[in-house]
Amino acid sequence: MILWWIGDVVLLVVILPVVVYLLRGVLDVAKSIVPSVQEIAVVAAAGSKDLDAAALLLTTQDQATQTIAGVANYGGSLDVILDDAA
């Protein structure tokens, strides 16, 4: 009979607080992850939006090609017009 009462006391005084403490720790950690994940989602969306201009690299490539071609033509003409130094 006494052992039963001791078991009840241990259950109420030790086991229940320990269970509550552990569950509260898990809940706090889970809640702390939520804002971090939401911030990461916002940053990922912003990063994706920033990369919208990456498609313009194709235009940049075309313009660089045309510029280099023009420079090459200009250099070829200079090569014909100017005398060599040596």
**Which positions lie near another protein, rule CB under 8 A?**
1, 4-5, 7-8, 11-12, 15-16, 19-20, 23-24, 26-27, 30-31, 33-34, 37-38, 40-41, 43-45, 47-48, 51-52, 54-55, 57-58, 60-61, 64-65, 67-68, 71-72, 75, 78-79, 81-86
Distance CA 63, CA 59 (A): 6
CB-based burial label for 52 (10 Å; 0-12, 13-18, 19+): exposed
Q: What's the closest the beta carbon of residue 1 comes to another protein, in angstroms?
A: 6
